[in-house]
Amino acid sequence: MPSRVCSCGTAIERANGSGWRLSEPRCTFASLSSRTSEPMPGEVNPEVALTRFYGNKVDRLFAVELLREAIEVANKINPSTWSVTLTPSYIRLNTGRVEVFALHPDQVHFVCDRRRLPAGMQPDDAEDTYESIPGSTYIDLTLAETCEAIERIRGAWHSAIESGAMSARTAVYRRYHSQPLLAHLQRLYPNLPTPKWEAAVKPQLNEGAFSRLADRFLERVTDFGDFTDRSGGYWTEERAYKLELGTICRETLTATLFEGADDDDGAADIVSATSKALTTRLPSTQAAQNLAGWRYHDFLRHLAKPAKKTFAKAFRDLLHGDEPSPARVQAYTKRTWPLMQKAQGGNPYAQTRMFPTLFLMAMYPRTDVAVRTDLFQRASRELLGRPILESKPLDAEQYESVLELCAAVWDNLDRRGWLTTDMIDVHSFLWVATRDRDTD
């Protein structure tokens, strides 16, 4: 087929099943910084996004071909663990627990197996970028640089994709999947696969145990209609105040507040605002929230100036980062665990679970849930026959397991016609149905 010319000034041609290949390796490493990375208003349209990322049509075809190649590699290894994400600022392929490829307006992001990179391209740092991909590192290249480098990094890139595809049993980031993006790609490549999520292993709930929990819930909330009730016991005792907490968190812990995370005064303001969100009186109860007692956030009072900055930056990335929430939780825990140990002593595992996820549920109730240790240990023992949390700080894998359990509970509630709205309903159902009557 005839060659095409990429923006790097090099002729490229279609290779047999392996993307675009240089006919002459003479890239100039031209900058792509002139292309806009401003967010697009409204819903993200794949075609519009790609055009904004890459104004040159051949550039666009080259970038999309790389994405197609990565999808094919992931699907071949495990069709049930990959998904694609589309935002105004990037397009990403997720496999298992990690992103392995991303397109940005100014660069292409590759996750690679550093052990398979050629000499001169291996990083000095031997630490793995992702724990679930041994030997993982990343390489960020302009599109022009990618034209030259792709043949040298392809093996290392494919190896990382394959490892990522085997790093989880399910498509961990399925909830962030963009079907419009996949549909656009499939119009360009009619044979491009669709992920087979139904082939993934889902948690199998004990149906008898679930029925007993449902009966117990109805015994304790005697006027329950469904989760859309706006009066009665469920609304007043479980849902209304949690929605109010969410409003406070969204209004208080804004992205603007976190712009000051890198300086002492700004970090102090963030710590103060975080504490205030948990202690402000709620309109419906005229009391502070009771989901997390003072022991869960008392460590905030003991943070010195450097520790406040560490917390502020970690909390910013938790609440407003681009990664899916399990990855954000793990990153937050890794950065704040030493602070919590120093402030509270011992191993405050419960705090690593409840504190970050409470804020995630408050701000993003459709996708995240507050992980209270006793609640999820009781629920998982009843529904799965085993405890779901380990004796260690909360990490991505444990949080993914909690979210999978909640998704299965959500499905079962919907089959009963209870009109589940979000994770607040799932959390409230489990709390009411599993707690002892004497539990506060």
Angle, vertex CA 398, rays to CA 258 and CA 349, nearest 5: 70
At 143 the pLDDT is 92
| 78/369 Cα distance (integer angstroms) | 28
Contact 57, 103 (CB under 8 A): no
Query: In Å, how far are 13, 290, 316, 320 from 371, measured between CA atoms?
Result: 51, 14, 19, 19
At 12 the pLDDT is 37
At 437 the pLDDT is 58
At 202 the pLDDT is 65
| 352/267 Cα distance (integer angstroms) | 20
Contact 90, 39 (CB under 8 A): no
At 112 the pLDDT is 94
At 189 the pLDDT is 96
Query: For the chain, what is the largest distance between any 2 Cα atoms, rounded to a whole number of angstroms?
Result: 76
Question: pTM of the prediction?
Answer: 0.63
Amino acid occupying residue 193: P
Break the chain into its structural domains and give their ranges.
Answer: 4-199, 207-434
Weakly modelled stretches of the chain, pLDDT under 50: 1-42, 438-440
| 68/365 Cα distance (integer angstroms) | 33
| 159/133 Cα distance (integer angstroms) | 9
What pairs with residue 12 in β-bridges? 4, 22
At 37 the pLDDT is 29
| Residues 6 or more apart whose Cβ sits within 8 Å of residue 364 | 325
For 236-251, give the DSSP string: IIIIHHHHHHHHHHHH
At 173 the pLDDT is 75
At 267 the pLDDT is 95
Angle between helices 57-77 and 46-53 (to 10 degrees): 120
Average pLDDT, whole number, for the chain?
A: 85
Contact 162, 73 (CB under 8 A): yes
What are 130-185's pLDDT values in tens digits? 877 888 999 999 999 999 999 999 999 999 999 888 876 667 777 788 899 999 99
Contact 428, 371 (CB under 8 A): no
